[in-house]
Amino acid sequence: MIATIEHNSRKHKIDLSKPLDISIAIDMSRENVNAWYLDEPKIYPVTDGEWVGSVQQGADVNFNNIQFNPHSHITHTECVGHITEKVHSVNKNLKKFFFFAEVVTIAPEQLKNNDFVISKKQLQYALGNKKREAIVIRTLPNLSEKKSAKYSNTNPPYVLEEAAIYLREKGIEHLLIDVPSVDKEKDEGKLLAHNAFWNTHGALRMQATITEFIYIPNTIKDGTYFLNLMIAPFENDASPSKPMLYEII
C-alpha cells in the first residue's frame, strides 16, 4: 500500500506494507534486555485453585499476567513526567504519532574519565542543516546482543547536556536512541540530558518525547524515514512503545 504524505510543501511516497521495526520486545523464549538493577520481566499464566490459564495445561484460553518495568525491560517512550514532581502522562501528551525522522549512526566519543558520550559536534555533523521532527540514533558498535544486554553497572554511552540542548534548539521533538538512558547511569540524579531536552528550566516541552532501548538493524541505512511512534495506552510517565520506520520512495 503506497501512501502520499505532504511535508514542507513537498509530496513523498511511503510503502506502508514494508514497516521497519526498531523496537525490542519482552520475549520469554530468549534473554531479555535489562537495566536499572531489576529482576527479569515475567509472563506467566493466572492460576485459580487447580485452574491454570494455559491451553497447554487444559484451559480454554491463554490468560497471562505480565510483570515488567518499561524503563528496564522493553523499548519505551517517556515524556517530561519522567523527571517532574507532577507525573505527567505520556499517553495524554503524545498526541501525534507520525513524523519525519533522521536515522543517524554515531560512534560515541571517549572522555578522559573513560565515559563514552554523544556530543553536540557529532550531532551537528550528522544532521547538518536538515530540519526533522525526530532523530533516531544508532550507536556503534551495533551488535545484535543489544537486544539482550544486561546494562546494570556497565556505564553505557549517554548524551551530553550540550548535545541535548542542540537537539532542543534545532526543533527535534522526539529523540530515539538504542541505549538504556540518554543520561549517565550514575550521575547523582542530575539527569542533565533529560532536563535539557525537555527544557525543565523554561517552558516545559510537554509534547516532546524520549524513546530508549530501541534497536536499529544494520540493514537500515542512515537517512530520512517516516516514523510511526506507537505507544500502549498507559497513563504513566512512560509506556512500552513500538516505533516503526518506513522508507520514503
pLDDT digits over 64-107, tens only?
999 999 999 999 999 999 999 998 999 999 999 999 999 999 99
Confirm if 103 and 144 have CB atoms less than 8 A apart: no
pTM for this predicted structure = 0.96
Sign of the torsion formed by the C-alpha atoms of 235, 206, 192 and 178:
positive
Annotated domain spans of the chain: 2-31+70-247
Rounded distance between C-alpha atoms, residue 39 and residue 124, angstroms: 38
Query: Over the stretch 147-193, which tens digit does the pLDDT of each residue have?
Result: 999 999 999 999 999 999 999 999 999 999 999 999 999 999 999 99
pLDDT at 10 exceeding the cut of 90: no
**Looking at the domain covering 2-31+70-247, what would its CATH class be?**
alpha beta
